Amino acid sequence: MMWSKQRPQHPLNGVVDPSQDISEGRRLARPRGNEPQLRAQPRASGEAPLALVLGATGYVGGRLVPRLLTGGYRVRVVARSVERIKALPWSDNVDIIHGDAQDRETMRRATQGVDVIYFLIHSMSSNTGFSSIDHSIAENVASNAHDAGVRRIVYLGGLHPENVKLSPHLASRTEVGEILLGSGVPTVVLQAGVIIGSGSASFEMIRHLTEVLPYMPAPKWVKNRIQPIAVRDVLFYLLAAARLDPSINRAFDIGGPDVFRYSEMMNGYAAEAGLPPRVIAALPVLTPRLASHWVGLVTPVPRKIARPLVESLQHECVVKNRDIDSAVPLPEDGLTTYRDAVRLALGRIAVDDVETSWVDARIANAPSDPLPSDPDWAGRKVFVAQNEKASTASTADVWEVITQIGGKTGWYSASFLWGVRGFIDRVAGGVGLRRGRRSMKALSAGDALDVWRVEHLEPGKLLRLRAEMLLPGDAWLELGVEPHADGSRYWQRAIFFPRGLTGRLYWASMLPFHALIFERMARRITILAEEKSTNS
């Protein structure tokens, strides 16, 4: 297929027709530029409307909240981890309800006085019970929204064909939409396919598959037609949906102006990234299970997350109609083309300005899980490996080195051993080291950091990381600094709560490597901090 700067789309059925010229009609394709702005409609009293965002720490939710605030809404969020919310730049401007969307009392409090609910929650678990959890949350939200007199629910679902057997995750999203549509509260279900934007799981799949593999055996679904949509256009539709007439209670397909085969999307990415065209051979023998293993090894997206994404790609995800255009007028400059969306995403990545990432959506651990502050007698055995280094560097310089750890910087010691451990985790279905970090300039509680996640952060004092690699136990790594004599004292602790005999044997087998890795890490961090102090 030949790539052009902008491909026209048939205005009636949403499918690309290269011979069709729609220049005389409304432009579906938008050139790069600023996002269209939509402002809230005030209540009759003149008070700003209140929006409840469920899934505010996720990829889309984390971008929607600041746009709601800018658009004149008051915003409320529900969070299992208040600390995760408080680490976000807009946290001081939102009302935070601590709790779980499955809990009826939490949702009763959360829905009081709300005008619009944004339902952006969807389980990406591979466990068999994910569908019942999705349904339970939807039913809880629906009943409480009705009781509270909420005026509108907006749900981001999945684009799918009709009258075919859907993958479990796509079917669950469709069923959640049906539950909300039957709630008695005017509901809009926006059904989107592949979302393209810096940090989205779908974009990272395309990006890494294309960059890593110039020659690629691929599943037969790479020949399926896909209608991607830029994340900025998803946000545009989400904001617009809150303003629709109360009589509208239905699902709408949303998609960008282009329809491509998945293989063509990969070569479109290659063109924007300055790479030669990729040779892609579709093989009928690659099952979703095998394909998800393959994606998990090549991309930062772990197998458990890749599986539902791969399963959804077995279906042709193309907009069936453009009914949405009669309810929501297109932006003045049209929608964003696929190539422009890729270009915008690469631009954000190049300047380390990724607003949110797919890894932000991981659910925090349950409160009953052990914490590194628990004493040994609190119910579980704990192993600790600790290192300390006195330094002439200031605490500020040591802290700066600490917060630059991971991602492109690495772990300051034994890079090969870290790489081997990450590879083993990937092969076993874990997250591995490919996730990197959202930004090399900023670090917040809840951020993914290679095989770790930032669990707690006290600026200038303590960084606590919780392991998300596959382990026979629970592990943390703490890095801290405090004033000492004429400089500072750097300290670090590796903490491990083993599960059974396997966990104890694992810790014993790792001790020789810990002695090598952690001692070098402590020494390297203090050396870099002292160099920084000397240069300043």
> How far out from the chain centre does Cα 453 lie?
13
Radius of gyration of the chain from Cα atoms? 24
Regarding predicted confidence, which is higher, 33 or 343? 343
- Which among 58, 20, 17, 29 is positioned nearest to 341, based on CA atoms? 29
Average pLDDT over residues 493-501: 83
Torsions phi, psi for 216 (to 5 deg) = -140, 115
Which residue type occupies 101? Answer: A
Average pLDDT over residues 150-171: 89
> What pLDDT is attached to residue 3?
38
Q: Is the pLDDT of residue 441 over 70?
A: yes
Look up the CATH architecture of domain 48-197+228-258+317-361: 3-Layer(aba) Sandwich (3.40)
Q: Say if strands 116-119 and 50-54 run parallel, antiparallel, or are unpaired.
A: parallel
> What pLDDT is attached to residue 125?
56
Query: Helices 201-212 & 262-272, crossing angle to 10 degrees?
Result: 70
Q: Is the pTM of this model over 0.75?
A: no
- Please give the mean pLDDT across all residues of the chain: 82
Q: What are the residue ranges spanned by the domains of the chain? A: 48-197+228-258+317-361, 376-535
> What pLDDT is attached to residue 414?
78
Average pLDDT over residues 137-164: 94
Q: What pLDDT, in 10s, does the model give residues 118-144?
A: 999 887 655 567 788 889 999 999 999
Q: What pLDDT, in 10s, does the model give residues 206-236?
A: 888 888 888 877 777 788 888 999 999 999 9
Q: Is the pLDDT of residue 16 over 80?
A: no
Q: Is the pLDDT of residue 160 over 80?
A: yes
Regarding predicted confidence, which is higher, 532 or 351? 532
Q: Is the pLDDT of residue 312 over 90?
A: no
Domain 376-535 fold: Alpha-D-Glucose-1,6-Bisphosphate; Chain A, domain 4 (3.30.530)
Three-state DSSP state, 107: helix
Q: Write the CA distances from 238 to 164, 186, 466, integer angstroms.
A: 27, 14, 33
Weakest mean pLDDT among 49-53, 308-312, 474-478, 481-485: 308-312
> What pLDDT is attached to residue 359?
65
> What pLDDT is attached to residue 10?
28
Q: How many CA atoms lie within 13 A of 261 on its CB side?
A: 14
Q: Say if strands 152-158 and 116-119 run parallel, antiparallel, or are unpaired.
A: parallel
Q: Say if strands 487-498 and 473-484 run parallel, antiparallel, or are unpaired.
A: antiparallel
Q: What pLDDT, in 10s, does the model give residues 389-408?
A: 999 999 999 999 999 998 88
> What pLDDT is attached to residue 210?
86
Average pLDDT over residues 198-206: 85
The H or E element that residue 79 is part of is: strand 74-79
Other CB atoms within 10 Å distance of the CB of residue 149: 12
Q: What pLDDT, in 10s, does the model give residues 95-107?
A: 999 999 999 999 9
